[in-house]
Structure 1
Amino acid sequence: MTLDGTNTWVLRAPDAASCVVVDPGPDDEAHLRRVAACGPVDEVLLTHGHPDHSAGARRFAELVGAPVRALDPAHRLGSEGLAGGDVIARAGLEIRVLGTPGHTADSLCFVIGDEAVLTGDTVLGRGTTIVAHPDGRLADYFESLRVLADLPPGTAVLPGHGPELADAGEAARAYLAHRTQRLEQVRAAVAGLGGVATPRQVVEIVYADVDRVLWPAAEWSVRAQLEYLRTHA
């Protein structure tokens, strides 16, 4: 589910001495020390609280002496939180925070000018992400993708997993089309099962051509899709 692993991003302007680190990743001492060597670190930002992005944050903060900022108070280390609409002026950069719930309720994206957006798991560098029901909600995810679709053309995607993408708007629109298609497939599967279906039954129909190792993750998204259909009939 993490593709090639979790991407940790080190951000700084060309002439800045310090940096901002986004998503230290899991609690892997060698990795954390390697990232710490890029310091000094002004702040640590979390795109969301899933452990593959945040589990190493406490240890990393010990190594670099910097606060950890996140939307969810459970993952903050320091007095300041983080929320959509915030602007962070650090390391010679202006980083704009977007609230992008959907994958999780606490998901954030970080926009650097018109150049790039760090998307965490909201948009991946390869494939599609899950809506981690019940914390993640499909209605929120649709709205978050629409926000990303409106970013200026050429805004690069720096994702939480996988390679960089050239255009955030293009990627978000492709995600929207894919999610809409999947939703219609789920709707049809439920109808074909007489109007009542378990998430597993839907996965077996809609994701029949997908490697079964991915079915548990697909089931999370199907649960979110079924909830959406119940509340947006």
Structure 2
Amino acid sequence: MALPDQPWPTGDVERPEPLVARVLAPNASPFTYTGTQTYLVGSEDGLAVIDPGPDDKQHIAALLAAIGDAEIVAIMCTHTHRDHSPAAAPLAEATGAPIVGCGPLVINTDEPRLDAAFDRTYAPDRVLADGESVSAPGWTLTAIATPGHTSNHLCFALEESGAVFTGDHVMGWSTSIIVPPDGDMGHYLESLALLYERKQDKVYYPAHGPAVTKPHQLVRSTLGHRRAREKQIGKLLAGGVPAKAGTSRSKSQRSQPSLGLTIEDLVPVMYKGLDERMWPAAGLSVKAHLLDMERRGIVSRSGDIWQTI
């Protein structure tokens, strides 16, 4: 998706609701939208910093200015990609606040990435389990385990207002990226279903992109989109696709059962019109679906060839 026209509110303090302030980091990209949004929750009597963002001097200075004389109760991270957690350590050093939230995680892979690499410096003082909370006068943030985008991903629910800080699990500008081996499509769909059942939630504040003011509608749409992709993969594997995207199969070819397809066969058909430079990235999403379908006994593979069962 194209980035919106500048100027962006990089470094400014925005206040979407009384208990919540937002500061945008200067790390815009095709995968981070206009940048990582760090949230300050609470008041001068006690603040939580959610997703401190990249270890960028300009961003850290903007956060410290926004914090002012307020006491930092916790620096909280939804997950440990390098656009989310590296600023936690310098911010903790500057304020004395503990780092609280997801567990540490580093995955090594040679596959092309759609997302940021993992933060090797992340060292939390306290890891939150599902349902555990951090609080200060006037607010409580409760952890919601939402694995899928990463296995250590958490969302944080602000109990007083019905807001949920969704990190990269749900975003208003794009669907979440699921990159194997740590990204898991099955877990992601289960986590989406869990959020859909939380009828008390009124707004999502993602780490990238605008607030989601109709959260249940978006989650339902995202679940539908992912299920449609799975059905598309199953149909293509059952019927085969042309060896070259855009060509027609003969009658005899169409009558033959599929002997299996590679991810490289599937991507051009599934993502018609997508810039070919993005095909490897799209292939990772297809792979995440295939691995989930394999685990559920819908497809099998031999080497790089995938087939329906």
Q: Return the TM-score normalized by structure 2.
A: 0.70
Query: Superposition pairs for residues 48-67 of structure 1, below 5 Å?
Result: 48-67=79-98
SS at match of 2:84: helix
Distance 1:107 1:154, change over 3 A: closer
Shift of 1:213: 4.8
Partner amino acid, structure 2, of 1:61: A
Counterpart residue number, 1:32: 60
Larger relative contact order (Cα-Cα within 8 Å, sequence gap ≥ 6)? 1
Counterpart residue number, 2:167: 120
Counterpart residue number, 1:208: 272
**Contact 1:203/1:215 (8 A) holds in 2:** yes
Counterpart residue number, 1:7: 37
Distance 1:128 1:46, change over 3 A: same
Q: Name the one with the larger helix percent.
A: 1
Moved more, 147-156 or 133-142: 147-156
Q: Distance in 2 between matches of 1:43 and 1:208?
A: 45
Shift of 1:153: 5.7
Counterpart residue number, 2:141: 95
Moved more, 106-115 or 201-210: 201-210
Unaligned 5+ segments in structure 1 are none
Can you list the C-alpha shifts for 1:185-221, whole angstroms capped at 9, x where unaligned?
2222333243533323322221123344543432222
Distance 1:67 1:12, change over 3 A: same
Distance 1:220 1:95, change over 3 A: same
SS at match of 2:144: strand
Q: Distance in 1 between matches of 2:100 and 2:123?
A: 5
Distance 1:23 1:214, change over 3 A: farther
Q: Name the one with the larger strand percent.
A: 2
Larger radius of gyration between Structure 1 and Structure 2: 2
Can you list the C-alpha shifts for 1:151-187, whole angstroms capped at 9, x where unaligned?
2266101001100010222221111011111111222
Counterpart residue number, 1:162: 209
Number of residue pairs aligned between Structure 1 and Structure 2: 230
Shift of 1:91: 5.2
Counterpart residue number, 2:48: 20
**Contact 1:102/1:140 (8 A) holds in 2:** yes
Shift of 1:18: 2.5
Moved more, 207-216 or 219-228: 207-216
Distance 1:195 1:230, change over 3 A: farther
**Contact 2:45/2:136 (8 A) holds in 1:** no
In angstroms, what is the RMSD of aligned CA positions? 1.9
Counterpart residue number, 1:43: 74
Q: Distance in 2 between matches of 1:70 and 1:200?
A: 38
Q: Distance in 2 between matches of 1:21 and 1:195?
A: 53
Partner amino acid, structure 1, of 2:131: G
Query: Identity, % of aligned pairs?
Result: 34
**Contact 1:153/1:167 (8 A) holds in 2:** no
Q: Distance in 1 between matches of 2:136 and 2:229?
A: 40
Counterpart residue number, 1:185: 232
Q: Distance in 2 between matches of 1:210 and 1:129?
A: 18
Partner amino acid, structure 2, of 1:221: S
Counterpart residue number, 1:73: 104
Query: Superposition pairs for residues 169-180 of structure 1, below 5 Å?
Result: 169-180=216-227
Can you list the C-alpha shifts for 1:25-58, whole angstroms capped at 9, x where unaligned?
1111111121122333211111111111112221
Distance 1:211 1:41, change over 3 A: farther
Counterpart residue number, 1:84: 130
Distance 1:90 1:219, change over 3 A: farther
